Amino acid sequence: MFMNQFKFLKNFLIKFLPSKKISIVCILFYIWGIIFAFMNPVLAHFTFSGGMFLDGIEVKIQMPMDITLDYILNQFIYYLGAVSLGIFLNNLVLMILCIFSGFALIPVILIGLFMKMGTTTFFIVEKLGFTGILVLIGSFHIYFEFLAALLAIDAFFKFYISFISSIRQHDITVFKENVLKEFLPIFLRIILLLAFAAILEVFWSTWWVYILTDHYISWYEFYFGAYSVLLI
């Protein structure tokens, strides 16, 4: 029983792994970002913003007198939940743009995500040293965004290769079958990864970056009392 569950989980997780060739290309862009920041830090700073990793986070916290159900709903659903939803939808639109328009793959994923994170890695480690490494390691949403981006490139190739194959074979059913069996499952995984990334960015990574770059505050106080989070 346990072995069957383990095999199911293993097979489920393996399906989230992107192709090796695409992973290598993206890793090269990440390394390129590090080299770019090292060779020309002024231009790298001008080209890429550091976001919450380098720009700093200003948080206004005011703990309520009483923790009521209405307060929890307003704080965690209508405020923080809405922020997560906004991040998710924004990232999903970008991934859709990348999948159905190959022109967006380079500026959005290869440069806008991987190369940018390479420069951010260099600057935050240069600024904070070992603490900067901890910031990046503990910002779990990045891993999900990376995986979603890699799968988006996979989805792009599967979609258009299937489309071209169906044209060559003069058979639209080939395209339909490939979309249902190969493209759609990848797209659903991308949605799942982006949803986890958005939730983690708001409900974990923001707090993690804040306590390592500003000062410590418990997770409970941070999220129950935060009513304004701004990048400065």
Residue 155 lies in a domain: yes
Classify residue 48 as left (phi > 0), alpha (psi -120 to 50) or beta: beta
Residue 97 lies in a domain: yes
As a whole number of angstroms, the distance between CA 122 and CA 133 comes to 10
Residue 134 lies in a domain: yes
pLDDT tens-digit profile of 42-75?
999 888 887 888 877 888 888 888 888 999 999 9
Residue 4 lies in a domain: no
CA dihedral (82, 84, 87, 91) positive or negative: negative
Q: Provide the whole-model pTM.
A: 0.90
CA dihedral (28, 33, 38, 43) positive or negative: positive
Res 88: pLDDT = 97
Res 9: pLDDT = 52
Domain range for 200 is 22-30+67-213
Residue 221 lies in a domain: no
C-beta separation of 148 from 194 below 8 A:
yes
Residue 56 lies in a domain: no
The total of structural domains in the chain comes to 1
Residue 158 lies in a domain: yes
Residue ranges in the chain modelled with pLDDT below 50: none
Residue 188 lies in a domain: yes
